[in-house]
Amino acid sequence: MFFCPGCQCGHWFSTDGSFPGWEEGKPKTAPVWTWNGDRDKPTVRASVLMKHGQGIVCHSMVTDGNISFMADSNHELSGKTVELPDWDFDDEEKVKKLWNPQKSDEDKDA
């Protein structure tokens, strides 16, 4: 998971196809991304596409510690590249607060 400055929330990605689901006890499977394992200058492939329940679309690529927002993102950082902000991944409470609790319409039906 990384903090997205465009959406002001956490975006997850799976490197093994597992995903705990939006609700406890309802496992889902997820697409698989690659991650270079570097927390200081991460690279994640493929792109990460998040659709939030509030109509927000965030489509990004993380490369060498920078996040590039694709043109189909509909927030203020669309089309821009910015440095990925520092984030304490080990602070479980912070992770829970930054995880966007709003479900997209797709997630509600799953």
The predicted-structure confidence for 94-105, as pLDDT tens digits, reads as follows 555 555 444 444
pLDDT band at 61 (very low <50, low <70, confident <90, very high): very high
- The residues spanned by each domain of the chain are 2-102
Strands (E), the chain: 2-4, 9-11, 18-19, 28-29, 34-35, 44-51, 57-63, 66-69, 81-83
Query: How far apart (Å, rounded) are the C-alpha atoms in residues 98 and 84?
Result: 15
DSSP alpha helix (H) spans, 3-101: 92-98
Query: How far apart (Å, rounded) are the C-alpha atoms in residues 85 and 100?
Result: 17
Which of residues 82 and 15 earns the better pLDDT score?
Answer: 82
Residue 19, pLDDT above cutoff 90: no
